[in-house]
């Protein structure tokens, strides 16, 4: 019968697998890493909070697609929490961790990845439902969307807890990974292959949907008298989603390949030298997503800009009793699903946008 090592600290497993825990991270290097990580985590928290607030505030975003987009931002926000926890429990600190604390550290990262991945898969299904019916938004009810969001997080939490529930090497240290010294190599193979296969499926599905949209819009454009903006709207939404998916695949695939090589016990692949860079690349994905939303979706950008601008104006009014209101022109809202379906193309003005929204709601 194999002996189990639940009571050991992580230095026992790191020393046995000869895993590099970056003992040289001291002084200026450690301060630099902490400052760099803190800056990006703060950006993740603020930017993704703005995305969620924009979906809640703007009634034109009250559709299944944008609810799921907000949930994806919530997954990125959760990833920021996971990175903060990792940042203060990595390097030379790793060897001092208990088994349970190390499981928590990795479980948070696995949960955030799964939440983003499953959310993108659900968005793919939602886009397929709407596009195949030539609609901008699907007919999913709020109850169904809420159920989907709850299911996404239930699956993510379960997948993040799988190693803690028993698929580990604490009772058979001969099969331990080198990158994750208490994870079983078989689990790393399963985890990485599963995610890479889902990546491939989603890429194929989105390319198929995109080609279908392009073909249909080209056919319908010569037979309809609708606005150019109306015909381009499905393509714009698909470009936004495909850009998000592309960034996700690019940022996470190298790390998953490294985990796969480690699971296959590739001792000559030099994975110890690249693991930190690929982890940083994964961190950048949560930074990039809110930038993609605001750049690709004009209405999202206008709403976020209006919230920031109006907040600044409120603070200025508290300091000065009288002032000349500033007018900030925002970008066109021609991609809004509500306005597209009504055939209305309208710009927004910060400071006057709320009045405009009330007048049109």
> Which CATH number belongs to the domain containing residue 120 in this structure?
1.20.1070.10
Maximum Cα–Cα distance for the chain, whole Å? Answer: 81
Q: From residue 104, how far is each of 112, 165, 243 by CA, in Å?
A: 12, 12, 31
Question: Does 333 map to a domain?
Answer: no
Could you tell me the two tokens for 124? 């793919």
- Specify the number of domains making up the chain: 1
Q: What is the DSSP letter of 324?
A: P
Contact 49, 77 (CB under 8 A): yes
Question: Does 25 map to a domain?
Answer: yes
Question: Does 187 map to a domain?
Answer: yes
pLDDT at 342 (0 to 100): 37
- 240-269 b/e with 16+ CB inside 10 Å = b? bbbbbbebbbebbbbbbbbbbbbbeeeeee
Question: Does 252 map to a domain?
Answer: yes
pLDDT at 12 (0 to 100): 86
CB atoms within 10 A of CB 32: 11
Question: Does 48 map to a domain?
Answer: yes
Angle at 113 between CA 107 and CA 66, to 5 degrees: 130
pLDDT at 119 (0 to 100): 92
Q: What's CA 153's distance to the chain center, in Å? A: 13
Contact residues for 168 (Cβ-Cβ < 8 A; gap 6+): 103, 182, 183, 184, 187
Rg (CA), the chain: 24
Residue in 68, 141, 70, 40 with CA at minimum distance from that of residue 303: 70
Phi and psi for 325 in degrees, rounded to 5? -60, 135
- 52-70 b/e with 16+ CB inside 10 Å = b? bebbeebebbebbbbbbbb
pLDDT at 240 (0 to 100): 76
How does DSSP assign 161-198, residue by residue? HHHHHT-BSTT-GGGB-SSSTTBBHHHHHHHHHHHHHH
Question: Does 327 map to a domain?
Answer: no
Question: Does 56 map to a domain?
Answer: yes
Contact 347, 333 (CB under 8 A): yes
| Residues of the chain predicted below pLDDT 70 | 1-2, 18-30, 133-138, 217, 220-237, 311-361
Residue in 198, 237, 246 with CA at minimum distance from that of residue 214: 237
Domain that holds residue 174: 8-221+233-307
Contact 71, 149 (CB under 8 A): yes
Question: Does 1 map to a domain?
Answer: no
Tell me the three state secondary structure of residue 9: strand
Please give the torsion angle defined by the CA atoms of residues 144, 149, 150 and 153, in that order, rounded to the nearest 10 degrees. Answer: 160
pLDDT at 340 (0 to 100): 33
């Amino acid at each position: 019968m194999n002996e189990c090592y639940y009571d050991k600290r992580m230095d026992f497993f790191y020393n046995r697998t000869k895993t590099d825990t970056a003992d040289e991270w001291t002084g200026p290097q450690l301060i630099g890493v902490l400052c760099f990580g803190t800056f990006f985590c703060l950006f993740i928290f603020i930017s993704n909070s703005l995305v969620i607030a924009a979906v809640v505030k703007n009634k034109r975003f009250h559709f299944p697609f944008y609810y799921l987009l907000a949930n994806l931002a919530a997954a990125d926000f959760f990833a920021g929490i996971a990175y903060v926890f990792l940042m203060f429990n990595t390097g030379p600190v790793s060897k001092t961790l208990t088994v349970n604390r190390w499981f928590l550290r990795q479980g948070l990262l696995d949960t955030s990845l799964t939440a983003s991945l499953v959310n993108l898969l659900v968005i793919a299904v939602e886009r397929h439902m709407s596009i195949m019916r030539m609609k901008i938004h699907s007919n999913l009810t709020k109850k169904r969307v809420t159920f989907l969001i709850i299911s996404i997080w239930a699956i993510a939490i379960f997948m993040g807890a799988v190693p803690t529930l028993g698929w580990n090497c604490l009772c058979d240290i001969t099969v331990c990974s080198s990158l994750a010294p208490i994870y079983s190599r078989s689990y790393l193979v399963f985890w990485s292959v599963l995610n890479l296969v889902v990546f491939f499926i989603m890429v194929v599905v989105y390319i198929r949907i995109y080609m279908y949209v392009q073909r249909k819009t080209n056919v319908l454009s010569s037979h309809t008298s609708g606005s150019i903006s109306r015909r381009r709207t499905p393509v714009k939404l698909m470009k936004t989603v495909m850009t998000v998916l592309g960034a996700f695949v690019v940022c996470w695939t190298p790390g998953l390949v490294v985990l796969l090589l480690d699971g296959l016990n590739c001792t000559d692949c030099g994975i110890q030298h690249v693991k930190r860079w690929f982890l940083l690349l994964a961190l950048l994905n949560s930074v990039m997503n809110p930038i993609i939303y605001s750049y690709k979706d004009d209405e999202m950008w206008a709403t976020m800009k209006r919230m920031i601008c109006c907040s600044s104006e409120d603070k200025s009014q508290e300091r000065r009793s009288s002032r000349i209101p500033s007018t900030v022109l925002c970008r066109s809202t021609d991609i809004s699903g509500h306005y597209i379906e009504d055939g209305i193309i309208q710009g927004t003005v910060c400071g006057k946008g709320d009045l405009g929204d009330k007048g049109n709601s």
